[in-house]
Amino acid sequence: MLIGLYAEYKAAVKTGSNNKTEYREELDKKISVLKAYCNILINEIEIALKKENKYLLLVIEDLDKADTSKIHEIFFKHSGILSELNTKIIFTVSIQVLCG
């Protein structure tokens, strides 16, 4: 979903500066709502797991199969978004993708 939102933003940028500012504000709202929903879901899962003495760990794999430019965009330009999720996450990305 995040990559789709970013693609919409890039398309809006080409239409002019007024549209770009408006769209950026709308995009920021959508990302904030998405993060909030994700954190609510994560909290509910963690509450259920703690009853069984278990913990949540997200492992996101196969990122090397995605478009390299999008991976760079997420990890280098917008990495703060990933750190705002309230759980531990392991991202598996090949060194070749990050350095290429």
Question: Helix 2-13 to helix 17-50 angle, to the nearest 10 degrees?
Answer: 170
Query: Which of the pair, 4 or 54, is modelled with greater confidence?
Result: 54
Query: Which of the pair, 21 or 62, is modelled with greater confidence?
Result: 62
Does residue 73 have a pLDDT over 70?
Answer: yes
Q: Give the mean model confidence (pLDDT) for residues 67-78.
A: 79
Do 56 and 87 form a contact (C-beta atoms < 8 A)? yes
